[in-house]
């Protein structure tokens, strides 16, 4: 073999050894590997949007007006409610106006009936002072904690947490009660103290129009 051929073969062998050594180095891509790409970031699923919490239905507007033919009072009450007028005067001492009290004007929800209503009654203060009449009346309905309130310019008391109001003016005492049963709290939620205050803001007291003796029917 001539000397130049031996030199060429030796050079080729050196190149082959160099290539093989490189491919065996750690981290090399190896034959046929393309350029190293940037690893893809793991996909992130969008967070689920929380469903909005349903709020209680709002109370209907106070678009109806009621004037008592016995108790000398008028006020606004909710649209769709029903008015049931008293049929006799309030002469039964300090008894609380109830759903079935003949002496009370009842304004009630056409949906919830006796589970949601306003009861209204009035009577002469008589020999009591206005302060005594109010105190006795509020105690008789279990409202031992009270705070002052003014209704149509007249002074009175409202029970703390029991939604009963007592008012006196011109020798006459008034009782206004908001009753809500505990059966369906979500249905009654809109009818809270703030709503009761809205009703009381519409009250007009007319003690001169009150009737304490119902004339007997003519035979």
User: Domain of 190: which CATH number?
Assistant: 3.40.1000.10
Does residue 219 have a pLDDT over 60?
Answer: no
pLDDT greater at residue 34 or residue 177: 177
**Domain-embedded: residue 195:** yes
Bridge partners of residue 103, in order along the sequence = none
Kindly state whether residue 77 falls inside one of the protein's structural domains: yes
Instruction: Kindly state whether residue 101 falls inside one of the protein's structural domains.
Output: yes
Please check whether residue 90 lies inside any domain of the structure. yes
Percent composition of the chain: helix, strand, coil (DSSP 3-state, to 5) = 20, 25, 50
CB 137 within 8 A of CB 156: no
Residue 182 lies in a domain: yes
Does the pLDDT of residue 142 top 90, yes or no? no
For 145, the domain range is 64-209
- How many domains does the chain contain in total? 1
Tokens standing for residue 200: 């009381």
Mean pLDDT, the chain, integer: 80
Residue at 161 is within a domain: yes
User: What pLDDT score was predicted for residue 144?
Assistant: 77
Residue 12 in this model has a pLDDT that exceeds 80: no
**Model's pTM, two decimal places?**
0.71
């Amino acid at each position: 073999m001539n000397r130049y051929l031996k030199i060429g073969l030796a050079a080729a062998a050196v190149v082959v050894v160099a290539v093989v050594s490189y491919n065996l180095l750690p981290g090399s891509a190896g034959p046929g590997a393309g350029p190293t790409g940037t690893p893809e970031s793991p996909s992130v699923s969008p967070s689920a949007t929380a469903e909005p919490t349903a709020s209680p239905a709002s109370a209907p507007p106070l678009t109806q007006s009621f004037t008592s033919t016995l108790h000398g009072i008028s006020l606004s009450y909710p649209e769709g409610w029903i008015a049931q007028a008293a049929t006799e005067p309030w002469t039964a001492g300090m008894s609380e106006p109830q759903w079935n009290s003949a002496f009370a004007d009842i304004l009630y929800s056409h949906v919830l009936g006796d589970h949601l209503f306003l009861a209204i009654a009035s009577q002469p203060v008589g020999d009591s002072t206005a302060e005594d009449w109010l105190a006795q009346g509020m105690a008789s309905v279990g409202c031992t904690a009270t705070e002052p309130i003014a209704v149509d310019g007249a002074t009175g008391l409202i029970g703390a947490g029991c939604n009963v109001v007592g008012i006196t003016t011109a020798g006459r005492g008034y009782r206004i009660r908001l009753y809500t049963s505990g059966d369906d709290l979500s249905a009654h939620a809109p009818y809270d103290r703030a709503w009761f205050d809205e009703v009381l803001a519409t009250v007009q007291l007319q003690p001169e129009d009150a009737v304490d003796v119902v004339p007997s029917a003519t035979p």
